[in-house]
Structure 1
């Protein structure tokens, strides 16, 4: 929907050819996978622009720079967890560790010459929309000097992600405990757990990964959680039996820890056809996971039975542990995690499982809801992140501060990428993105292309600003609300970050469909869902970009003015 020009204003033909661009400044926030993808996609598709990415950390990498607890690794296969345009052929493990992924991101940044576009140790403090100038007025803090300075952006792109704002458990007495209080997302490099009595709080992916690393050296280990979770068998075994990748997986060699053999890595490097087939088969398996979370599907029933059987076996048939650990809610209600060594660790004599809430922390340890006090030397909080989607800095648009809005109401976004009332503002992994559907690397590639296409439309069609309409966002949210009860994600009883840590409530963290469904949805820009303000006095003329009757396609001496003779009549 366009803003209509004011009556009485004379329209003047713009003396520029169709396809002309205006200079724009793009500011991104966060130099993780999304920020790097944004830089590359802008380079490939735009001209006459400048871009800067502000990153609060001292280096690139995002969550893979920050999370370095023992056992930290990705639960998406390495060969899916990479950029399609910068594939790595020497991954050491089928599921790579945090240091290797962080190193990969840093290598990509250097190899692609991206560091000139990134300012590390800089944090965006606030953003306010200036309607008159059609730009964002920004305040940025240099974290090395502590000084604030002003900046501006024609387009603001938030790539801060969802799993990076870690939080302590919501219990009393955090400051009362006299031992070592640690969060997995802020792991101290010098912490030695050997011979200590340790409590690990939480059984999400971080808790499942860190516990088996601490168990062997600990004198005593308490594992405390409120809600059970599904722990998957090794995916390689399941894919070999049932998946499309079975044949090619049988041609690679790995040890018991899923490290690739030197021979397999050499084959990846020397045989490009084999490598490509392997990558595509693994990617297809990742994409095929969606039917499992449809609660009425036969796949859900079959998989649930098999995972129950697996967990029972790995727990040695211990009825007390099985009762505490195996959920009674559908598979996928909480994030499904392959837990290498986790279930076995829980059967060890130095581990005690306590399925309980926590009343408070005390000087010597933890008081449970039952009144029992567990005396410990260290408390490891694998308690996750703030997944409310509330921005970490004020974003003040046409309807006020988004922080305040989303603190009071369910976060709603347009296709997870944009927000009503926030012109020229885009997000990676906003509300209801497919964050739990597989690799964020290829996901961010599709989102970057979508955002860049919208920016290019504005840059070449005399659009001063655009934002999704409130009606479009409401309709999209209505579809999400109607669809989610079909999935395990919305099932009651499973406390999940998909629902912002609640057992019941709207699913705000996941897309209403498969991963391919999301990619397909973003293939085309639905212009009818957006509100536009055009350049020029009084709102401008929507066809002002047509200009002087010529096209840049015929005026570019390096171009091919008869390109249409070589194109197939295929519409996407």
Structure 2
């Protein structure tokens, strides 16, 4: 059915022409006869052609994108394929004990759907999942989201100007084909969880659990449990398990900076005056009276949200290596960690880093450091040799007997797609395996026309809310799609030169940041001294500013139908849609100093 609809567009290829380094178009080596351009379009300027869009994933990025497309793109047919039985992405999948967001709740939401009823300053995973499910239902996205459906392959058809997709219906175990004009990958980077490469891992006789695939009814009370890893998940799991297990063995490979509780830091900063007006109980939950005030006083609520957002944005200077701000923060956090570890020399040596603050993701302390001093907790820094049926063997020959092993060991962060995406010049899986993953503005890839990804290589995910970031990327992509739809552009892709230049700038910038320090970090694909592939070369405000303008000179195009003979075919019959669609045709008189 989708193929027949697409065929109505009468798509024909126009060979894309690469500009020379000086911007000129190469002249043909032999004289050619130019085809006369006479067939004008009888449509007004601003007319659009039908378009079909497929989005992969119904987490925060996919849900926001589906809503935005519905609001702004005319003549749209769209579908969102979600592999899980419910929407929510990472917040559907991650349900380990203690799982919560370390961004303030009222900033970890869509700007267009404020939620004054968050229960606590930092919301648990279940509440964030409920919020996303509520958005999904209230926006009526059930008709475009196909749950339990997984994209297993995608191939670009140059002649047709479409993506040919293979889709798996997980529930019924069947596969079928689909097509689209634009393919949007909103599956996320912290989504593809992986087991650690430990010999004998699955020979263990007890429970083996990954933090991103926590069994719903697992009872850890009274058991001897190992937690491998002290990233953001491990830091939340350890204090959540410690009070109830008989014995907790925590394997730590690398040190990590642990910041004081985020609320404590915010209260000491510029947002302190605003926070002094907010009522919280001893568990950092908003009182019923405070929630009622948020709902009844939108101006107060907005002032609260903006003050905390401004404070969160202000964290970027801490990431500049050797800056005064970084030095002061490092000293304060070191002192905090020493105090919480009660000066324990072995633990301080194991956990307090020598690398720059922020080299690894800075993690707020949620009772983690104090839990390591508990009588039933043992911190092991010896390396793991193998897993044996009764437990874990260390490099010192000790076998630690266990009832359960929890692997808080993270995700595949290589940016490599989970399925083949075949563009003009091959499979993106191969391209990003053989070479450094590079993208244009983190979301587009050379030789992969009409393909966009969210939070791809070098997005600004080092600090601040992902919700806000994905909203800006979605608007950028939507403006490009509208340009193609209105200007008879069949396909669009960034040039290799533009992406190479942006990558060179990014890697030249990174040494001035803590992110490029010598530490093992997912920002560098878990390499100690590799190039920084996960973060933007600047602040999140810098990224938002960068996306405001579309640099058409960085892209190459092919055109639809008669437009392939003249790029200005879309100018049409000399009239404008604005003369007929009910919009204000004298808008230019209202704000004469406005630039757009």
2:512 pairs with one of 486, 490, 515: 486
Greater shift, 333-342 or 447-456, is seen at 333-342
Q: Deviations over 1:125-151 (max 9, x none)?
A: 100000001010001110111111110
Work out the CA distance in 2 between the residues paired with 1:226 and 1:318.
18
Residue ranges of structure 2 left out of the alignment (5+ in a row):
1-14, 18-24
Q: Matched residues in 2 for 1:225 and 1:263: separation?
A: 42
Aligned residues of 1:334 and 1:496 also touching (Cα < 8 A) = yes
Does the 8 A contact of 1:535 with 1:541 survive in 2?
Answer: no
Query: Deviations along 1:17-44, whole A, 9 cap, x unmatched?
Result: 1111010100000001101111121122
Counterpart of 1:79 in 2: which secondary structure? Answer: helix
- Contact 2:55 2:186 (C-alpha < 8 Å) held by counterparts: yes
Are positions 1:336 and 2:336 aligned together?
A: no
Question: Partner of 1:415 in structure 2?
Answer: 441
**Offset from partner CA, 1:396-417 (integer Å, 9 cap, x none):** 0011000111111110000101
Larger deviation, residues 121-130 vs 534-543: 534-543
CA–CA separation in structure 2 for the residues paired with 1:373 and 1:434 = 42
CA deviation vs aligned residue, 1:212-256 (integer Å, no higher than 9, x gap): 011111111111021110111012222222x22110101112223
Deviation at 1:9, TM superposition (A): 2.3
Counterparts of 2:91 and 2:384 in 1: how far apart (Å)? Answer: 29
Which residue of the partner structure matches residue 58 of structure 1?
85
2:575 corresponds to 1:550: yes
Provide the residue aligned with 1:73 in structure 2: 100
Where 1:140 maps in the other structure, the secondary structure is strand
Q: Deviations over 1:30-68 (max 9, x none)?
A: 001101111121122211111110000011100000000
Is residue 2:326 matched to residue 1:300? yes
The correspondence for 1:106, drawn from 115, 122, 133, is 133
Q: Once the 2 structures are TM-superposed, how far is the Cα of residue 260 of structure 1 from its aligned partner?
A: 1.3
1:446 is the counterpart of 2:446:
no
Q: Against the structure 1 CA distance between its residues 526 and 8, is the aligned structure 2 distance closer, same or farther, given a 3 Å change threshold?
A: same
* Aligned counterparts of 1:256 and 1:486: Cα–Cα separation in 2: 40
Match of 2:374 among 317, 326, 348: 348
Following superposition of structure 1 onto structure 2, how do residues 229-308 of structure 1 map, counting pairs within 5 Å?
A: 229-241=256-268, 243-308=269-334
Give the 3-state SS of the residue equivalent to 1:311 in structure 2: helix
Partners of 1:435 and 1:466 lie apart in 2 by: 26
Deviations 1:58-84 (A, max 9, x none): 111000000000000001110100001
**Is contact 1:109–1:115 with CA below 8 Å preserved after alignment?**
yes
Paired residues, number: 569
Q: Is contact 2:563–2:569 with CA below 8 Å preserved after alignment? A: no
Inter-partner Cα distance in structure 2 for 1:569 and 1:162: 43
Unmatched 5+ residue regions in structure 1? none
| Deviation (angstroms), 1:479 | 0.6
CA distance in 2, matches of 1:540, 1:422: 23
Mapped to 2, the partners of 1:162 and 1:504 lie a distance apart of 20
Identify which of 518, 524, 531 aligns with 2:543. Answer: 518
Q: Is the 8 A contact 1:178 1:364 kept in 2?
A: yes
Offset at residue 371 of structure 1 (A) = 2.6
Q: CA deviation at 1:537?
A: 6.1
1:192 to 206, 219, 222: 219
Cα 1:542–1:254 shift into 2, 3 Å: same
User: Are 2:500 and 1:500 equivalent residues in the alignment?
Assistant: no
Report the equivalent of 2:411.
385
Between the aligned partners of 2:350 and 2:192, the Cα distance in structure 1 is 29
Do the aligned partners of residues 444 and 538 (structure 1) sit closer, same or farther apart at CA in structure 2, a change above 3 Å counting?
closer
- Secondary structure of residue in 1 paired with 2:437: coil
Residue of 111, 115, 124 corresponding to 1:88? 115
C-alpha contact 1:201 1:207 (8 A) present in aligned 2: yes
Q: TM-score, normalised by structure 2?
A: 0.94
Q: Report SS of the residue matched to 1:123.
A: strand
**Counterpart of 1:136?**
163
- SS of 1:188's equivalent? coil
1:322-348 Cα offsets, whole Å, 9 max, x none, are: 111111111101111112110000000
Task: Name the structure 1 match of 2:232.
Answer: 205
Runs of 4+ in 1 over 4 A off after TM superposition: 4-7
| CA drift at 1:559 | 2.0
- CA shift, 1:13, in A, is 1.2
Indicate which of 235, 243, 247 corresponds to 1:220.
247
Rounded to whole Å, the distance in 2 between the matches of 1:149 and 1:428 is 25
Distance 2:45 2:564 in 1: 19
Whether contact under 8 Å (2:488, 2:563) holds in the other structure is no
CA distance in 2, matches of 1:145, 1:138: 18
Instruction: Work out whether 1:149 is the aligned partner of 2:172.
Output: no
User: Could you tell me how far apart the structure 2 residues matched to 1:463 and 1:333 are?
Assistant: 42
State which of 556, 560, 564 in structure 2 corresponds to 1:531.
556
Q: CA–CA distance in 1 between the matches of 2:108 and 2:122?
A: 9
Q: Distance in 1 between matches of 2:92 and 2:133?
A: 10
* Cross-structure match for 1:559: 583
In the aligned structure 2, how far is the partner of 1:540 from the partner of 1:496?
50
Give me the whole-angstrom Cα distance separating, in 2, the residues matched to 1:371 and 1:482. 45
Residues in 1 aligned to 2:16 and 2:592: alpha-carbon distance in whole angstroms: 33
The separation in 2 between residues aligned to 1:65 and 1:506, in whole angstroms, is 31
Equivalent pair of 2:242/2:248 in contact (CA under 8 Å): yes
